[in-house]
Structure 1
Amino acid sequence: MGSRLLRGNILQPLTDKETLNTRYDALEELATKEEMFFATRQSLKASLDVDRVLTALIIIPTQMTLKSTEQAINTVIMLKQFVTTISPIYEALSGARSVMLQEIRQLCAPENVQPVLELIDNMINEDTTYSSKPLDLRNQRTYAVKSGVNGLLDVARQTYKEAMTDAYQHIEDLAETHNLALQTKYDNVRQFYIRLPASELEDRLLPPVFINVFKKKNMVECQTLDLVKRNQKIVDSHTEVLLMSDKVVQELIADVRGHLSGLFKICESIGMLDMISSFAQLVTSQEYVRPKLTDTLAIKAGRHPIREKVQSSKYIPNDVYATQQTRFQIITGCNMSGKSTYIRSIALMAVMAQIGSFVPSSYAAFPIFKQLFARVSTDDSIEANVSTFAAEMRETAFILRNIDRHSMAIIDELGRGTSTRDGLAIALAIAEALVDSRALVWFATHFRDLANIMSERNGVINLHLAVDMSEADKMTMLYRLSEGVVEEEHYGLALAKVLPLPPDVLQYATEVAGTLEQRSKRRKKASLAVAQSRRRKLILNLKEQLVQAHNGAMEGEVLASWLKELQREFVVRMSAIDTEAREAELGEDSDADAAPDDELEDKRATRSVAMAVQVKDEKRSNTDSMSADGDMLDDGRRLSMPPSRRG
Structure 2
Amino acid sequence: MNASNISSFVQTNLFERNTVTESNDSNSASSVQQTASELNLSRARLGSKPTAGINKPILPSKSGYSLASSAQRFSLAKTRSTPGNVSRFTATSRATAVQERILCTIFESTKDVNSTIGLCILNFSTGELILSEFIDSQIFIRTVHKIQIYEPTEILLPNTSFSPTYSKLATILKLNTPDSVKISEVTSKYFNKQNGQDAISKYSIDEETKKVNLLHVLDKNFALCALSATVYFVKEQIPKSTAKAMEFKSFRIRFENPENTMLIDSRTILGLELIESKIYKRNHLAFYKFLDETVTNDGSSLAQKHILQPLTSKKGLEHRLESVQFLMENSDFLKELRNEMETFEDLDKIFCHLLSVNHVAIEPEFKINYVLLLKSTLHTTKRIATTLQKANPSGMFLKEVGCILLNNKLSEIESAIDEKINKDCSWATSNIDQQNQRCYAVKKGTNGLLDISRQVYRNIVDEIVQNVKQLNDTHELSLDYKYERRRGFYLRLKRKDHSELPFLPSNFVNVILKKEFIECTTLDLLKANARLEEILREILIASEQVIDELLNEIMGNLSALFMMSEAVSLLDLLCCFAKKAMNLEYCLPKFSDIIYIKKGRHPILENLIKSFVPNDIISLQGSSSMQLITGCNRSGKSVYLRQVSLLCIMAQIGCPVPAESATFPIFNKLHARVCSDTMEIGSSNFSSEMKEMAYFLGALDSQTLLILDEVGRGSSIGDGLAISLAITEYLLSANCSVFVSTHFREIPALLRNKPSVSHFHMKTEVTRTASLKMHYKLTTDFEATSGNGIRLVGPLFGKKISETAMTIAKLLEKSGRYQRMAHLQKHKDPDTVAVNELEKDK
Does TM, scored on the shorter chain, surpass 0.5?
yes
**Which consecutive residues of structure 2, in runs of 5 or more, have no partner in the other structure?**
1-297, 466-479, 500-511, 678-682
Distance in 1 between residues matched to 2:570 and 2:780, nearest whole Å: 42
Q: 5 Å matches for 1:623-642?
A: none
| Alpha-carbon contact 2:410-2:557 (below 8 Å) kept | no
1:139, distance to aligned residue in structure 2 (A):
7.6
Structure 1 pair 123–462 and aligned structure 2 pair: CA distance change class (3 A): same
Contact 2:746–2:821 (8 Å) recurs in 1: no
1:76-475 → structure 2 map (5 Å cutoff): 76-93=371-388, 94=390, 95-109=392-406, 111-128=408-425, 144-146=441-443, 149=447, 150-151=450-451, 154=454, 165-166=481-482, 173-174=493-494, 176-177=496-497, 209-210=513-514, 245-309=543-607, 311-324=608-621, 325-377=623-675, 388-475=685-772
Q: Which has the larger radius of gyration?
A: 1
Q: Structure 1 residue 484: deviation in Å?
A: 5.0
Shift of 1:485: 4.5
The answer to whether the aligner puts 1:514 opposite 2:810 as a matched pair is yes
Counterparts in 2 of 1:144 and 1:481: CA distance versus 1, 3 Å: farther
> Is the contact between residue 463 and residue 484 of structure 1 (CA under 8 Å) also seen in structure 2?
yes
Question: Structure 1-normalised TM-score?
Answer: 0.67
Tell me the distance in 2 between the aligned counterparts of 1:351 and 1:236: 63
Letter in 1 for 2:632: C
Counterpart of 2:585, as a letter, is: E
Alignment partners' CA distance in 1, 2:734 and 2:455: 77
Match of 1:495 in 2: 792
The amino acid of 2:482's aligned partner reads: D
The residue aligned with 1:620 is none
Structure 1 residue 314: deviation in Å? 2.2
Supply the distance in 2 between the matched residues of 1:160 and 1:395 (Cα, whole angstroms): 74
In the alignment, what sits opposite 2:306?
9
In the alignment, structure 1 residue 505 sits paired with structure 2 residue 733:
no
**Pairs within 5 Å for 1:519-558:** 519-521=815-817, 523-524=819-820, 530=826
CA contact (8 A) 1:453 1:609 kept: no
Partners of 1:374 and 1:410 within 8 A in 2? yes
CA displacement at 1:299 relative to structure 2: 0.2
Contact 1:51 / 1:267 at 8 angstroms: preserved in 2?
yes
CA distances 1:106-133 after superposition (whole Å, capped 9, x unpaired): 2222744221101111223324456899
Work out whether residues 481 and 491 of structure 2, in 8 Å CA contact, stay in contact via their aligned partners in 1: no
Q: CA deviation at 1:500?
A: 3.3
What one-letter code is carried by the residue in structure 2 that aligns with 1:255? Answer: E
TM-score of the superposition, structure 2-length normalised?
Answer: 0.52
Query: If each structure's helix is expressed as a fraction of its own residues, which one has the higher value?
Result: 1
Residue 85 of structure 1 deviates from its aligned partner by 0.8
Where in structure 2 are the equivalents of 1:60-79 lying within 5 Å?
A: 60=357, 68-70=363-365, 72-79=367-374
- Mapped to 1, the partners of 2:371 and 2:560 lie a distance apart of 17
Contact 2:641 2:674 in 1 (8 A): no
User: Of the candidates 352, 356, 359, which is equivalent to residue 59 of structure 1?
Assistant: 356
What is the SS of the residue equivalent to 2:321?
helix
May I ask how many residue pairs the two structures share in their alignment? 492
Gap regions ≥5 residues in structure 1: 180-207, 212-221, 380-385, 535-602, 611-647
Q: Give me the identity figure in percent.
A: 30
Write the distance in 1 (CA, Å) between the matches of 2:424 and 2:726: 71
In 1, distance between residues paired with 2:748 and 2:428?
A: 63
CA-CA distance at 1:42 after TM superposition: 2.4
1:261, CA displacement in angstroms?
2.1
Deviations 1:212-233 (A, max 9, x none): xxxxxxxxxx998879xx9x99
Judged with a 3 Å threshold, the aligned counterparts in structure 2 of structure 1 residues 138 and 328 are, in CA distance, closer, same or farther, namely farther
Alpha-carbon separation, structure 1, partners of 2:519 and 2:711: 71
> Structure 2: how far apart are the matches of 1:442 and 1:178?
85
- Asked whether the 8 Å contact 1:125–1:146 carries over to 2, the reply is yes
Separation of aligned partners in 2, 1:404 and 1:66? 49
* CA distance in structure 2 between the aligned counterparts of 1:373 and 1:155, rounded to whole angstroms: 71
Deviation of 1:36 after TM superposition, in Å, equals: 2.2
Give the superposition deviation at 1:495: 0.6
Query: Aligned equivalents of 2:720 and 2:536: distance in 1?
Result: 72
SS at structure 2 position matched to 1:450: helix
Once the 2 structures are TM-superposed, how far is the Cα of residue 72 of structure 1 from its aligned partner?
4.5
Deviates more, 1:294-303 or 1:448-457: 448-457
Q: How big is the shift at 1:420?
A: 2.4
Post-superposition CA distance 1:396-415 (Å, at most 9, x none): 12221322110111112222
**Aligned partners of 1:308 and 1:134: how far apart in 2?**
53
Q: Is the 8 A contact 2:432 2:483 kept in 1?
A: no
Superposition RMSD in Å: 4.0
What residue identity is the alignment partner of 1:166?
Answer: K
- The answer (yes or no) to whether the contact 2:786–2:809 under 8 Å persists in 1 is no
Question: Residue 594 of structure 1 corresponds to which residue in structure 2?
Answer: none
- Confirm or deny: 8 A CA contact 2:409 2:557 kept in the other structure: no
Structure 2: distance between partners of 1:359 and 1:413: 26
Amino acid at match of 2:694: A
Report the AA paired with residue 76 of structure 1: V
Seen in structure 2, the aligned counterparts of structure 1 residues 7 and 129 have a Cα distance that, compared at 3 Å, is farther
| 3-state secondary structure, aligned to 1:414 | coil
User: What SS class does the counterpart of residue 267 from structure 1 fall into?
Assistant: helix
1:48 to 345, 368, 371: 345
| Equivalent in the alignment of 2:833 | 605
Q: Secondary structure at the match of 1:508?
A: helix
Instruction: Report how far residue 248 of structure 1 moved.
Output: 2.2
Conserved in 1, the CA contact under 8 Å of 2:638 and 2:676? no
Cα distance change of structure 1 residues 414 and 532 upon mapping to structure 2, 3 Å threshold: closer
Please state whether the residue corresponding to 1:451 is helix, strand or coil. Answer: helix
Task: Tell me if structure 1 keeps the 8 A contact 2:490–2:519.
Answer: no
| Cα distance in structure 2, aligned partners of 1:465 and 1:240 | 81
Q: Which amino acid aligns with 1:39?
A: E
Deviates more, 1:448-457 or 1:361-370: 448-457
Cα pair distance change 1:121/1:489, threshold 3 Å: same
Q: Deviations over 1:400-458 (max 9, x none)?
A: 13221101111122222222222222222222222221111111222222232232333
Q: Structure 1 residues 436 and 91 mapped into 2: Cα distance closer, same or farther (>3 Å)? A: same
- 2:668 and 2:635 map into 1 onto residues whose CA distance is 30
Greater alpha carbon shift after TM alignment, 2-11 vs 15-24: 2-11
Q: How far does the alpha carbon of each residue in 1:72-99 deviate from its partner, in whole angstroms, 9 at most, with x for none?
A: 5454332212111111111211222222
